[in-house]
Structure 1
């Protein structure tokens, strides 16, 4: 797989994980079809990614130099992901150990994951990622507000977990469209 295919596969894996993990907060009648749909979407995306044709020039694995595409998994990527992990862990600790609002955890994770896409948009020189970043961060922020207002876990999981998962799966699907 090329680095572009790999990055999309990572997005699809996390989209699947968001939906599968958070559907558990819903009644079984809703959770099972959502999980099955997410799994079917992931399998379809996996097959489509494996079949996708890419040109060697379209997959930038070289060094990021002016006039060239950035390296997908280079130092910039590592720094963005490291900041994401640090922010996620710090927030989860505060949410659970200080604030005692564990239902806000998924919202915090969605907010942080959304914000990390702003960094990736810069590092990968892919301004289109800002749309995904804004949408996921908005879901996370809305989930935090819902948690602060005492909303049910099912509502928080839907807004801050299932919706971001669908956004990730949908963005991978959108990236596979032919121009």
Structure 2
């Protein structure tokens, strides 16, 4: 987090961006395979290109911008962080077990993943005092719910994966892009 009137890289920007770029890339690569040719290749190449551009931007910001003065914020060692992660793991794997083994609906698994990961960002936003995570959580949760709706309306597994999976990858990429832009923009003094 940056202090008003200062410029600099927010606390956690590098690690958070690397995690988001990695998971965004996985969301795009894994969930574009069911599309008709040539779209899997097009979407995957576009996703890899965006990830590469974001990495270049991240490394430029990390080299150019010094870390901004931090407010006291919880880090990875905070018990609240681990509680959020534990609840996410239980919801994720418990829900996937029900979806795959009880309901026999693997085509909506990615929608469930999107909902759970989206909801977990609300917890992280509170623990780390990062309001941007509320927006990311809302978008990813909405994309997960949209995937369930697509399925309920007769949409294919590939369409569910496109909406909930590739959509979440794009949301993670967009969040990194906004964070990088914010790290290089002077903040007005209060």
TM-score, normalised relative to structure 1: 0.88
Ranges in structure 1 where 5+ consecutive residues have no aligned partner: 61-67
1:12-23 pair list within 5 angstroms = 12-23=21-32
User: How many residue pairs are counted as aligned between the two chains?
Assistant: 170
Matched, 1:113 2:117: yes
Matched, 1:10 2:19: yes
Match of 1:70 in 2: 73
1:84-99 pair list within 5 angstroms = 84-99=88-103
Tell me by how many angstroms 1:43 deviates: 1.2
Q: 2:66 aligns with which of 25, 37, 55?
A: 55
Cα distance, 1:150–1:136 mapped onto 2, change above 3 Å? same
Matched, 1:161 2:165: yes
Give me the whole-angstrom Cα distance separating, in 2, the residues matched to 1:136 and 1:34: 19
Tell me by how many angstroms 1:48 deviates: 1.7
Match of 1:45 in 2: 54
TM-score, normalised relative to structure 2: 0.83
Tell me by how many angstroms 1:57 deviates: 4.1
Give me the whole-angstrom Cα distance separating, in 1, the residues matched to 2:41 and 2:22: 18
After TM superposition, where is structure 1 displaced by more than 3 Å over at least 4 residues in a row? 53-58
Give me the whole-angstrom Cα distance separating, in 2, the residues matched to 1:169 and 1:16: 8
Give me the whole-angstrom Cα distance separating, in 2, the residues matched to 1:39 and 1:30: 14
Deviation by residue 1:64-88 (Cα, 9 ceiling, x = unmatched):
xxxx331332223222122111110
Give me the whole-angstrom Cα distance separating, in 2, the residues matched to 1:38 and 1:70: 32
Give me the whole-angstrom Cα distance separating, in 2, the residues matched to 1:77 and 1:27: 40
Cα distance, 1:93–1:106 mapped onto 2, change above 3 Å? same
Ranges in structure 2 where 5+ consecutive residues have no aligned partner: 1-10, 186-190
Higher relative contact order (CA 8 A, sep 6+): 2
Q: 2:85 aligns with which of 72, 81, 85?
A: 81
